[in-house]
Amino acid sequence: MPNDTFQVGGEADKWNHHPGEVRLNPLFQWPPRPLAIVKWYSAYWLAITTTTLTVVFAVFIFFAFLPPLEAMQSWHWSWVLRVYLANLIPHCLCAGLLHMWLYKWRAQEKRFKFDPRDQATDNGTFTFRNRIHDNMFLTIASGITLWTAFQAPVYWAMANGYAPAFLFPENPVWFVLMFPFLVIWSSFHFYWVHRLLHVPFFYKRAHALHHRNINVGPWSGISMHPLEHLLFYTNFLIHFVVPSHPIHVLFHGYMQSVHPIFSHSGFDQLVVRDKERAKIGDFFHQLHHRYFECNYGTVEMPWDRWFGSFHDGSEVATKDTRARKTQMYT
Ligand SMILES: [Zn+2]
Ligand SMILES: [Zn+2]
């Protein structure tokens, strides 16, 4: 529910662009607010958003590029390579183009940019002393490899009847509902994996690598330690339990990996020819990268609100986060 007492306060001065109060999916609020739920889902699913972009990728790649399930019944490097390329090409295209647009060409300058500061470039905290090369290396060498390593066995298991698969239009209602279900499943899974990664033992050894990026950019999306990728992509195991179509498996991968390119872009809106064309950024997660001990989940499930770590973008929430952080580390 929108918070009547919400006040940005001094937090407004810390950002070049502050989008206002951070809202969570109303699906989990009581009493139910059907109109708010319809509005929420229409904004994500009936407009040009990163969500619809990932659906388009999944459908297009399924028909144009992914080998048929029959070809994936027995292991062969050629189809595994195709699965790898089906992940690598869209990912690099999106991250590369968005990086060029926002940071290299500065095509929209600082319009809708959250953080007023420029990004670190030549910095000793990054591998190769270069943030972009560091992020690209972790994304491609570890991220896309482990994404494929978890996805390929799902296709193989579907092809052999070890994982429940169905063919469209066998069950069109479930086929459609599976998309929003996967978003909620990912949000659930991400919250708990992310909480674990903030336990000092895992933070120091793995998650600190992702958090080198305080001022995030498109290549930061899945720039993570291999251990984090390993935990992150276990969410593909859902397909061994819940009946899915290969399009869902593709969508799941893009939503899990291509979506973070945009949510880490550092910009709220994409501006082309002086017009706002699409919502790309995610202030909820941007706050996590600045203040660390808040917003561990996503806006799709209210775990952070339930466990008291929700940062709604206000000055009061920053003070609460800082107090919590002091308590945690003393
Ligand atoms: Zn984190
Ligand atoms: Zn992040």
Q: What pLDDT is stored for residue 127 in this prediction?
A: 81
Condensed to tens digits (0 to 9), the pLDDT of residues 135-167 reads 999 999 999 999 999 999 999 999 999 999 987
Query: Which ligand minimizes its atom distance to the CA of 224?
Result: 2
Query: Which ligand minimizes its atom distance to the CA of 281?
Result: 2
**Residue 236 corresponds to which amino acid?**
F
Give the Å distance between the CA of 167 and the centre of ligand 2.
35
33 pairs with which residues across the strands?
A: none
Give the Å distance between the CA of 217 and the centre of ligand 1.
15
Give the Å distance between the CA of 125 and the centre of ligand 2.
17
Give the Å distance between the CA of 247 and the centre of ligand 1.
29
Q: Nearest-CA neighbor of 322 among 69, 39, 14?
A: 14
Give the Å distance between the CA of 289 and the centre of ligand 2.
6
SS3 279: strand
Give the Å distance between the CA of 185 and the centre of ligand 2.
18
Condensed to tens digits (0 to 9), the pLDDT of residues 92-137 reads 999 999 999 999 999 999 999 999 998 766 677 788 778 899 999 9
Going by pLDDT thresholds of 50, 70 and 90, the confidence category of residue 249 is very high
Give the Å distance between the CA of 271 and the centre of ligand 2.
23
Give the Å distance between the CA of 329 and the centre of ligand 1.
16
Running DSSP on this structure, what letter comes out for residue 89? H
Backbone CA torsion sign across 187, 190, 192, 198: negative
Give the Å distance between the CA of 73 and the centre of ligand 2.
36
Condensed to tens digits (0 to 9), the pLDDT of residues 208-217 reads 999 988 889 9
User: The pTM is what?
Assistant: 0.95
Query: Which ligand minimizes its atom distance to the CA of 207?
Result: 1
Long-range contacts of 132-137 (CB under 8 A, 24+ apart): 132/99, 132/217, 132/219, 134/212, 134/223, 135/213, 135/217, 135/219, 135/220, 135/223, 136/95, 136/219, 136/223
Domain boundaries, the chain: 9-329
The encoded tokens of residue 191 equal: 């919250």
